Structures are given as C-alpha cells and as structure tokens.
Amino acid sequence: MKAGLILESWPLFAEGVWITVQLTVLALALGLCLAVPVAFVRLRRVRGLSALADGYVALFRGTPLLVQLYMVYFGLSQFEWLRDSWAWALLREAWWCALITFALNSGAYASEILRGALAATPAGELEAARALGLRPRQVDRLVLLPAALRRSLPQLGNEVVFMLHGSAVASVITLQDILGAGRALNARYYLAYEGLLTAAALYMLVTLVVVGVFRALERRYLRHLALAPVRVRSRLPAMR
C-alpha cells in the first residue's frame, strides 16, 4: 500500500470529489425539473405528448447509463451538421455531455417514482382541496405535487445514491471525477489498485453523507405522515 502517494495526491482527489458532487447535484436538480412535467403528462395521458414521454422513459430506463453517455459524447459528435449547430457549444465539452446524459437518465427514473406517488395520492386530499375552492391547476401545484414529492422522498433519496454511483462513468469521457482521479493516480505510478481503493472510500464517504441528509429530510417532511411511504417501484430496494 502506498499511503504516501495517496496523501500526496490529495488535491487530485479533492478536485475529483468536487466534480462528482457537482455533476450529481446538478443532474438530479435538472432531472427533477424534467420529471415533474413528464410524470404529469404520463399520468393524465396527454395526447401526442404521452407517447413521447413513454418513449423517453422507456429508452433511458431500458439501457445502460454508460452506453447513453458514449452515445451522447462519441455518437453525436460524429455528425457534421450537429457540430455546426448551436448545440455544439455544449456538446463539445465532456462536462456538459455528462451533465445532459445524467439529467436525462435521472429524469426518467424520477418521473417514474413521481408518477407512482401522484397516482397514489388519496382522493380525499384532492377533494378537500377542491372543496376549499382551488382551481384544478392550483390543486395540482399546491396540493398534489407537494404531497407526491414528500411521499417519494425515500425513493428519491435512493435515486440520489444511484446517480452518485452512476456518475462514476464520467471518468471514461476524460473527466477527472473521483474515479478519474483514482485512475490517474494508478496510471501515473503504475499502481494496480491503490487509486481505486481511495476512490471507493471517497464514494462511500459521500454516500454516507447523502444518506444522512435524506434521513434528516424524511424526519422533517414525513413526520406528519404517519403512514408507510407509498410503495413505488424504485430502481432497487432501499438498503438501510
């Protein structure tokens, strides 16, 4: 074990943690913004849009994140018309390619969670809101969505961990995230696993922080709901 080398390279790893956290947080935020309209469209079966939303969710939930990233980074850059378009300002940067892919991926999963939570909102809550004189849009915005978001907190927390872990594929498109830092250390000193072990430990640490934050959030926002969280199909069972 070359502990000295690892300690010496701390700026590399600090930078790596920053890039990983940045990508994960932004991707989740953008993903959630995308997930809300998609979930509503799929719930209400808006004509035309529904098929599009279904296709989007099926594509991103049905294929590996790594291949999606390869497609956006290497695949799209193959086309000259795209390289001549305004989109190239973003797509030429590995960082943006990763962020766009991660946001689309996370949006698809989050919309599925949200759709389940929306559908599972008790009819009584909505009737009460209508009885108070709220218009349908207001019911959606003020009652239905906040209630669904609260209910899906545990699953969304799970989703955060998945995005954090999924973001490790960013290292294959030249980004120096946590794993990228570990692999750079390995390549620099021809090590087999020291850099990887350091990366694993850092991912674990960040995961623990995320899980802690979400537990606190759940305690705060689900306290009044003396009910078990809605059973929604999330990616995997939460492990705690």
Partner 1 sequence: MNELLPFLPLLLRGAAVTLALALLGLALATALGALGAVGRLSGRRLPAAAVRGYTALVRGVPDLVMVLLVYFGGQRLLNDLGALVGLDRIPLPPFWAGVLSIGFIYGAYLTETFRGAYRALPAGQADAARALGLGRGATLRLVLLPQMLRHALPGYANVWMVLVKSTAVVSVIGLGDLVGVANDVGKSQRAPFLFFGFVLLVYLGITWVSGRLFAAAERRAAR
Partner 2 sequence: MLKTTLLSLALVTGLGAQAVAQSLNICVEGAYPPFSFTTESGSVAGFDIDIANALCDQLGYDCTLVKTGWDGIIPALLERKCDAIVASMAITPERKQVVDFSMKYYNTPARFVGREGMTMDDLKDAVVGVQRGTVHHDYMRGEHPRVDIKLYGSQDEAFLDLAAGRIDAVMGESIASATGFLDTDSGEGFAFFGPPISIPKYHGIGAGIAVRQGEEDLRNAFSHAIGELRANGTYQKINQKYFDFDIFGG
Please count the other Cβ atoms lying within 10 Å of the Cβ belonging to residue 212.
Answer: 10
CB of 76 vs partner 1, minimal distance in Å: 7
Q: Which of 59, 128, 132, 216 binds partner 1 (CB under 8 A)?
A: 59
The phi-psi region of residue 176 (left if phi > 0; otherwise alpha if psi is between -120 and 50; otherwise beta) is: beta
Binding mask 107-146 for partner 1 (x = CB under 8 A): ----------------------------------------
CB of 172 vs partner 1, minimal distance in Å: 7
Q: Which of 200, 217, 222, 225 binds partner 1 (CB under 8 A)?
A: 200
CA distances from 160 to 89, 110, 154, 167 (A): 28, 10, 10, 11
User: What is the rounded distance in angstroms from the CA atom of residue 210 to the CA atom of residue 223?
Assistant: 19
Query: Per rule CB under 8 A, is residue 71 in the interface with partner 2?
Result: no
Query: Per rule CB under 8 A, is residue 65 in the interface with partner 1?
Result: yes
Handedness of CA 139, 43, 156, 169 (dihedral sign): negative
Q: Which of 120, 165, 217, 221 binds partner 1 (CB under 8 A)?
A: 165
Of 38 and 170, the one with the shorter C-beta distance to partner 1 is 170
**Six-digit token pair at 199?**
């990366």
Query: Per rule CB under 8 A, is residue 52 in the interface with partner 1?
Result: no
CA distances from 90 to 66, 132, 231 (A): 19, 46, 38
* Binding positions for partner 2, 82-141, rule CB under 8 A: 83, 88, 92-94
User: What is the rounded distance in angstroms from the CA atom of residue 170 to the CA atom of residue 98?
Assistant: 6
* Binding positions for partner 2, 193-232, rule CB under 8 A: 193
User: What DSSP assignment string belongs to 62-125?
Assistant: HS-HHHHHHIIIIIGGG-HHHHTSTTHHHHTSHHHHHHHHHHHHHHHHHHHHHHHHHHTS-HHH
Q: Under the rule (CB under 8 A), what is the footprint of partner 2?
A: 74, 77-78, 83, 88, 92-94, 172, 174, 176, 183-184, 186-188, 190-193
Q: Under the rule (CB under 8 A), what is the footprint of partner 1?
A: 58-59, 61-68, 70-71, 74-76, 78-79, 161, 164-169, 171-172, 179, 182-183, 192-193, 196-197, 199-200, 203-204, 207-208, 233, 235-239
